Amino acid sequence: MNGSHLSHRAKAIRPSPTLTVSALAGEMIDRGLDVVNFGVGEPDFDTPQYIKNAAKKAVDDNFTRYTSSSGILELREAIAEKLWRDNGLICNPRDILVSPGAKASIINILLAVCDPRDEVLIPAPYWVSYTSQVEMVDGYPVLLPTQEEQDFKITAEQLDNQLRELSNPKALILNSPNNPTGSVYNARELEDIGKICLKYNILIISDEIYEKLIYDNLKHVSIASISPAIRENTILINGVSKAYAMTGWRLGYAAGPTEIIKMASRIQSHTTSCVNSITQKAAVVALREDDGSVEKMRQTFEKRRNFLMKSLQEIPHVRCCKPGGAFYAMPNVSHYLMENKRNIRNSQSLCEYLLKEYHVAIVPGSAFGAPDYVRFSYANSLENIEKGLHRFAEGLSSLL
């Protein structure tokens, strides 16, 4: 079989660079090597017991059949309650679509709204799947570069200038708290951005999957809550993966305008049908009950972040914005990509060198459209963070 049968779509898709580092680190670990893995994009905690109990009950109750494609009503009601409680949004359960992960929610929405060559704006650094998903629906990703000095956030003015240049702008994908930078947009910034989106009549796809992981007493603000007009133009994306340590359970959701949700739901009915029925029952309990685990995990992440930031500051020539949320930090390593003993010139080669010779796995910033940076995930124990940072510092210093 040769490649001639492959679609242009398949050929255009690049392998996920974050998974590539994890895979290589995984192989080294399997070979018995002691690798500190900062590449992981998921909490290292177990799913809280009260949620697991709900899943066991669902199995015992034989809740094991197909459900309605958009998700069981009980869950969509629990999501509507959550949107009111946490985000001040009144949402009809009819306007919510439950999908196998927020990743699936986003592509369902893109399939429902994008025509070929529609332009979708994506602030860079960006989560790797956004660009690939836009390409998969034959849309065109337009990157909006951000600066470290502005905490990696786009400005309304920048968005306005870019939109003026485009011929088919369809949507902006906003992600706060952000993967990979940890940046968090405040209400004022969101309002300014929302107004520009209204001016050009483009949709906002607001990925809020890291909502619960936010530090320094910052408060997560959903752009949908800024004004009724912005809300009508926004599809809010969220899920249970990161907040409840449920990455393998696969459940995300989209909430937004009736027609878009209805069409996205129709698309899902012809692809994955519905989310695993047991996961849906577990998610109802995750959202409605609270045994304190989410807050405990958040506090642990905050301690790790503080420790990681302190350790990074001690490394010469490394600069890092303080991440306000999620569990990532993205230090600038450009100094080490200039003159060095190994002739390393980009973040990909730097990460390969650090992994192979210092047994520390970090993701190259080039994966996220930020070639002068590397991404650390601090979903790892304090002990490992200390060990890994020591290796990172040693690896860097021996380059000079």
Rounded CA Rg of the chain: 21
The binding track of 213-242 with respect to ligand PLP, each residue x by CB under 6 A or -, is --------------------------x-x-
Does the footprint of ligand PLP cover residue 253 (CB under 6 A)?
no
Among positions 25, 91, 102, 124, the unique one binding ligand PLP when judged by CB under 6 A: 102
Segment near ligand PLP (CB under 6 A); pick from 44-52, 98-106, 295-303, 381-389: 98-106
Write the DSSP assignment of 178-247 as a string of letters. Answer: -TTT-----HHHHHHHHHHHHHTT-EEEEE-TTTT-B-TT-----GGGS-HHHHHTEEEEEESTTTTT-T
4 φ, ψ to 5°? -65, -20
Q: How far is the CB of 1 from ligand PLP (least distance, A)?
A: 31
310 φ, ψ to 5°? -65, -45
Q: How far is the CB of 259 from ligand PLP (least distance, A)?
A: 24
Does the footprint of ligand PLP cover residue 252 (CB under 6 A)?
yes
Does the footprint of ligand PLP cover residue 126 (CB under 6 A)?
no
Q: How far is the CB of 239 from ligand PLP (least distance, A)?
A: 4
Strand 36-37 versus strand 360-361 pairing type: parallel
Helix (H), strand (E) at residue 122:
strand 119-124
Q: How far is the CB of 105 from ligand PLP (least distance, A)?
A: 7
CB-count burial class (<10 Å; 0-12, 13-18, 19+) for 258:
exposed
Does the footprint of ligand PLP cover residue 103 (CB under 6 A)?
yes
Does the footprint of ligand PLP cover residue 279 (CB under 6 A)?
no
Whether the bond between 371 and the residue before it is cis, its omega within 30 degrees of 0, is no
Residue 18 is encoded by which pair of tokens? 């974050």
Nearer to ligand PLP, 118 or 208 (CB): 208
Write the DSSP assignment of 251-280 as a string of letters. Answer: -EEEE--HHHHHHHHHHHHTTT-S--HHHH
Among positions 22, 131, 133, 175, the unique one binding ligand PLP when judged by CB under 6 A: 175
Q: How far is the CB of 367 from ligand PLP (least distance, A)?
A: 12
Nearer to ligand PLP, 213 or 396 (CB): 213
Q: How far is the CB of 23 from ligand PLP (least distance, A)?
A: 16
C-beta of residue 347 within 8 angstroms of C-beta of residue 354: no
Does the footprint of ligand PLP cover residue 101 (CB under 6 A)?
yes
Helices (H), the chain: 8-12, 17-30, 49-60, 73-87, 102-113, 128-136, 156-165, 187-199, 228-232, 258-269, 277-288, 293-313, 347-358, 382-397
Beta bridge partners of 186: none
Nearer to ligand PLP, 252 or 324 (CB): 252
* Closest of 179, 180, 178 to residue 189, by C-alpha: 178
The binding track of 30-69 with respect to ligand PLP, each residue x by CB under 6 A or -, is -----------x----------------------------
Does the footprint of ligand PLP cover residue 209 (CB under 6 A)?
yes
**Count residues contacting ligand PLP (CB under 6 A)?**
13
Does the footprint of ligand PLP cover residue 207 (CB under 6 A)?
yes
Determine the 3-state secondary structure of 389 from DSSP.
helix
Does the footprint of ligand PLP cover residue 141 (CB under 6 A)?
no
Nearer to ligand PLP, 162 or 181 (CB): 181
Q: How far is the CB of 34 from ligand PLP (least distance, A)?
A: 26
Residue type, 202: I
Q: Residue 375 and residue 287: Cα distance in Å, rounded?
A: 30
Q: How far is the CB of 353 from ligand PLP (least distance, A)?
A: 25
Does the footprint of ligand PLP cover residue 96 (CB under 6 A)?
no
Residue type, 380: N
Question: Which positions touch ligand PLP (CB under 6 A)?
Answer: 41, 101-103, 127, 175, 179, 207, 209, 239, 241, 247, 252
